[in-house]
A and B are shown apart, each in its own frame.
Chain A
């Protein structure tokens, strides 16, 4: 007997339809799974055998072949358990003809426990979205109900294999196999962090406001305890809200990584702060069975790298591709996948290895050589992708004790939203989303130099040793400052302000 069951699989962050063909023939009792299954899928046999037996069905002692088609694409994930089990039941004649008929109307996803109950699995959302075109009803584990609701696909959520078969045999009705979970809005509402809690540091706050408004990357350099991490954690709070499209994109990535938590659709911009001992693969994504890395989990959000100079050199270098292209392409011999990774990089580092350089109270114990080596860990090409660099100095007690609080995140966000709106209109109909991503052509069109700025730029180039490439960065950032002020044209004062955020100077050479 032959059975054909529909399910899905993941490639990159997109799903595709897979049909599970099960053939049962007389012969030595074996269960073989073919069609490029990964380890999880091959292990699924053992779970399926136990789940079928423990659900009160017979496991046929015959030669069983399971083929996952299209056979040339690699399949991974634990959600193949359910379709394989159903295929075996159908092929061994344990389902009525009516039930077998109905199988083709469904898309089955789910991991099975040994007792036959359904367990949650990763990547449900992207698979549901890509299989919408087949107009099937999805069968998903109850714990994945939120993803079902996001995808707007009709679905049912049986708790066990037995329950599902009962439903197919029409022994129970649809309401009994569907749970309707209404997530309490903001279930995980943490105490909202606000910019007004950070005392002093007006320059750094301004830099972050510009970064939020134009999608620029920021590097904060400062003594320990000056508020670098505090500021970074508050940064997502001034970013514009996620659009539906963006939210869906990141929810898909989180679904694949099984990091959905309790929220339905991710409504906040992600904030990822990996430790500096992270491996290259964990940061960028990859592995023999490719998975998204931290840069993709930070897609449409913020990637905060504290102790920036302590990251291994190779980890920092792999950041260059996503910073440039907004995506990560992972090539393996068998396949090439690409994950979106358009994030705002917020990096923080100490001014020197001991952390006291420029501290008025404690002497720095580093040698000039150590300081140079520390700073040169951040390569030039990487610095080129960071538009704003800002130094943080210790906050004085009077500042810290000040009664009047600074601006709230809401006030800053107001201005950011306005600037974003201006950019949205400016780049309407193009793929550019913010000033930071302007192409050379757009730069020329939207960032004409104000009259009289030539002398300033020339003086700055000479004084600060700026390269021509850094002038592009300066123009982009100046554009954002102008947008924040709702100024049609870039003005000289905008350019001058950008000079405050120039990259870390690593020369210390006497002027000749």
Chain B
């Protein structure tokens, strides 16, 4: 914590942060004019707009938002959860975020942020995950975590949850930048994931006031924080118009590298990554493709084994399976099949097919969603 900033000034900054569209360069200008954040808050909308050349509406909204929260309460609630509220002047505030054009005036953090210059990779994508997206996210996520890279994502359903979960399974830290206040968990089913993530040294980050609800417009904005904290950004799956592509666009504007996982051209969820590749994004076919883009300064301490590109086909872990089960795996291939389809291809009846599928599912080779079986692993 920067002790040069008084507690009152800090609280004033937290107040100002409640206005979501506060630009970093405004604060500098406003402070120059009025002296301090506290002084800014002492003005009325009229003087603000006149002296600082702000739109009168914006000035009124700024004050309205600032006085809608109680900063002391925000502070107390956050501290009670063992969290912190950092402002850019603090050394704990991430360097990469401080450099960003729209850096938040205050950052609510639960857990521990990775040190500056630590390798951080964003793995983002659709909430409507396909079995392919799930397999890819699991594999890449686990390998990144194992290598020592911190995965950054948004704790949403789908790809986000899978990428956090991959790190959590290996008990490695991962950072979730969420679109609500840190006092809430959205979606609620991810509560266990959030808890586990904090337990293994990860962090939950938000720029929003403690109890902010999951408003739709919060999510695209938090994507800029994801992009700012990471290098490179990996888009696994996403439709052509999706939040994942917003993140990619913001990342490009910040000069970050955007990588995409190619997918079937007839899958709507792969439309986003495929179009990114067309526009020149890097192609991800293995974890080494991602690691290539990690800046040199951040490579210290990473597991060098993962940097090697190999041309071997993906391993076939199913080789030790009984013949019948291998046949099932072949029938399903990289697509998805219902029990009826497997039964017909194999020529077996329902009970026998059910047994085969159950065994493969329990062993973790297959997963079943809405009655369709698909490969669970590479």
Contacts and interface: CB of A to CB of B under 8 A. Distances in A.
A500 to B, nearest CB: 4
Nearest to A493: B355
Contact of B340 (A393, A481, A512): A393
Interface stretch (A87-95, A187-195, A200-208): A200-208
- By secondary structure, the B interface counts as helix
Nearest 3 pairs of A and B residues by beta carbon? A391-B371, A510-B165, A393-B338
A260 to B, nearest CB: 40
B192 to A, nearest CB: 6
B370 A351 contact: yes
Q: Which of A392, A499, A507 has the most CB of B within 10 A?
A: A499
**Range of interface residues on B (Cβ < 8 Å):** 35 or more
A487 to B, nearest CB: 11
Contacts of A46: none
A419 to B, nearest CB: 14
Interface string A113-148: 000000000000000000000000000000000000
Contact of B354 (A363, A460, A463, A499): A499
A496 B371 contact: no
Interface stretch (B2-10, B292-300, B357-365): B357-365
Interface of B: 127-128, 157-158, 161-162, 164-165, 168-169, 187, 189-190, 192-193, 196, 268, 338-341, 343-344, 349-351, 354-355, 357-359, 361-362, 369-372
Given A393-B371, A463-B362, A509 B189 contact: yes
A202 B344 CA distance: 9
A497 interface: yes
A368 B127 contact: yes
Given A497-B354, A500-B354, A510-B165, A203 B128 contact: no
Interface residues of A, number: 39
A245 interface: no
A26 interface: no
B351 A493 contact: yes
A390 B357 CA distance: 15
Q: Which of A494, A499, A507, A511 has the most CB of B within 10 A?
A: A511
Contacts of B164: 510
Contact of B371 (A202, A358, A368): A358
A412 B17 CA distance: 69
Contacts of A363: 268
A357 interface: yes
Contact of B158 (A206, A368, A459, A505): A368
A509 B160 CA distance: 11
Contact of B350 (A203, A391, A396, A499): A203
B370 A358 contact: yes
A368 B340 contact: no
A253 B153 CA distance: 61
Q: Which of A351, A364, A510, A511 has the most CB of B within 10 A?
A: A510
Nearest to A209: B350
Contacts of A368: 127-128, 157-158, 187
A460 B350 contact: no
Nearest to A459: B362
A505 B370 CA distance: 8
Contact of A200 (B165, B340, B355, B370): B340
25 contacts: A200-B340, A201-B340, A202-B344, A206-B350, A206-B351, A221-B370, A221-B371, A222-B371, A357-B370, A369-B187, A390-B371, A391-B371, A393-B372, A399-B344, A481-B351, A493-B351, A496-B354, A500-B339, A500-B358, A508-B157, A510-B161, A510-B162, A510-B165, A511-B169, A512-B168
B343 A496 contact: no
Nearest to A507: B189
Contacts of B158: 368
Contacts of A351: 370
A508 B189 CA distance: 9
Contact of B357 (A202, A392, A463, A500): A500
Interface in A387-425: 390-393, 396, 399
Nearest to A502: B368
Contacts of B192: 509, 512
Interface string A359-385: 000011001110000000000000000
A357 B190 CA distance: 22
B190 A509 contact: yes
B350 A497 contact: yes
Nearest to A398: B344
Contact of A510 (B193, B357, B371): B193
Contact of B169 (A203, A463, A493, A512): A512
Nearest to A484: B351
Contacts of B338: 203, 391, 393
